[in-house]
């Protein structure tokens, strides 16, 4: 605050309230809301400027809560440090924040209202499809698949043989396996 001094009677005293970085001027003790003001001096006068933190909202979100969640979104004082965290659900991994940063948890200095979106990617799992006897038939479909997708496995019997069943009891030669983890299945031929 500037403007404190000794002034002659009926002079105009200029009072200025200058907030420091991260703060804002609220009001003078006499209710005046102007940061810069003139006061007509008629007696000894004391006025006090009130300041408060500038606050900003930090938003954290995910595009799909079935693949991951986020924490740390709130209203913070300017220049505070917010810690934001992304937690992947089973079958997914945290990839990055929408601004390309990969730290998790992440500390951000609050300078303005900001939104951070957590991006997740599905994990890949190995599906191994085997034949109980390569002489009788083979299997197509072994490979890496993303979580929550279907691995299409096909049992192909050789001439003179037929497909019987998969190791889990499924009897269709074309098997749509829901991928949830590393999995091995075996085709049986007769």
pLDDT 10s digits, 36-71: 999 999 999 999 999 999 999 999 999 899 999 999
- Is residue 22 very low, low, confident or very high in pLDDT (cuts 50, 70, 90)? confident
Please report the beta strands in 41-123, taking only residues with DSSP state E, as ranges in sequence order.
Answer: 49-53, 55-62, 68-71, 74-77, 81-88, 92-97, 106-109, 114-122
- Is residue 150 very low, low, confident or very high in pLDDT (cuts 50, 70, 90)? very high
Residue 99, pLDDT score: 96
Model confidence at 126: pLDDT above 90? yes
Do residues 103 and 85 make contact, with C-beta atoms less than 8 angstroms apart? no
Residue 51, pLDDT score: 93
Mean pLDDT of the chain: 95
Nearest-CA neighbor of 24 among 89, 96, 77, 93? Answer: 77
**Other C-beta atoms within 10 Å of 126: how many?**
14
**Other C-beta atoms within 10 Å of 115: how many?**
13
- Is residue 9 very low, low, confident or very high in pLDDT (cuts 50, 70, 90)? very high
Do residues 130 and 156 make contact, with C-beta atoms less than 8 angstroms apart? no
Mean pLDDT on 181-188: 97
Nearest-CA neighbor of 102 among 91, 112, 90, 116? Answer: 116
Residue 72, pLDDT score: 97
Residue 109, pLDDT score: 95
């Amino acid at each position: 605050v500037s403007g404190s001094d000794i002034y002659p009677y009926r002079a105009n005293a200029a009072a200025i309230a200058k907030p420091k970085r991260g703060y804002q001027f609220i009001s003078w003790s006499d209710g005046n809301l102007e940061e810069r003001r003139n006061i007509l001096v008629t007696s000894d006068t004391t006025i006090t400027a009130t300041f408060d933190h500038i606050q900003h909202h930090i938003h954290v979100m995910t595009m799909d809560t079935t693949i991951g969640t986020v924490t740390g979104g709130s209203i913070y004082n300017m220049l505070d440090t917010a810690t934001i965290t992304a937690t992947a659900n089973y079958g997914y991994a945290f990839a990055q924040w929408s601004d390309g940063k990969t730290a998790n948890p992440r500390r951000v200095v609050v300078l303005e209202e900001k939104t951070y979106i957590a991006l997740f990617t599905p994990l890949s799992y190995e599906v191994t499809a085997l034949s109980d006897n390569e002489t009788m038939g083979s299997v197509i479909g072994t490979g890496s698949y993303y979580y929550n997708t279907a691995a299409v496995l096909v049992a192909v019997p050789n001439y003179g043989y037929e497909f019987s069943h998969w190791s889990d009891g499924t009897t269709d030669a074309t098997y749509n396996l829901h991928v949830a983890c590393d999995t091995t299945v075996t085709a049986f031929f007769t």
